[in-house]
Amino acid sequence: MPGDAEFCFKTRSKAFIQKFYGELSPGEVAAGVNAYMPGDYLRMAEKMEFFIVENNGLPVGFFTIKRIDTNTAEIPLIYVDLNQLGKGIGTTCIQFIKKWLSSNWIDVKTLIVDTVIPKYNGDFYQRMGFIPIEETFCDFPDLKVKALRLCKELNS
């Protein structure tokens, strides 16, 4: 929905501006903010699984799931409203993703996520069972940003 797309844009932009600047250069922060406009979120929802996380009917986060191949899925985006950090929403999202995959894409055995801010959120992913596997890059328009790929093997 258009209102959801606006929420996603604002939530992601605030994260880059208010939280990620310590780990990213000003140019990388700007590229991250400008990488997706509200219309891009609507287009993403047509191409991959897109979820809005709500609490009491209000959006508090969002995430996407993309199938890479028969056995591998990726979390391209996962963001929680900054005012909701530390309330278990991210943990609940990862638990939901695992459950959703086991019900909908039963052949998926590996879940990956790339992060451009591993110092900021790497501990979270590792607590969720992800293991750092390699350095990679995230492609923002006109800029490649160094990232860390993490991997989680899913139980059968």
- The pLDDT score that the predictor gives to residue 140 is 87
- In angstroms, how far is the first alpha carbon of the chain from the final one? 34
Domain CATH number, residue 23:
3.40.630.30
- The pLDDT score that the predictor gives to residue 1 is 79
Residues of the chain with pLDDT under 70: 156
- The pLDDT score that the predictor gives to residue 16 is 95
Residue by residue, what is the 3-state secondary structure of 54-96?
EECCEEEEEEEEEEEECCEEECCCEEECHHHCCCCHHHHHHHH
Containing structural domain, residue 61? 2-153
- The pLDDT score that the predictor gives to residue 127 is 95
- The pLDDT score that the predictor gives to residue 148 is 96
Overall pTM surpassing 0.75 (yes/no) = yes
Provide the domain count of the chain.
1
- The pLDDT score that the predictor gives to residue 142 is 77
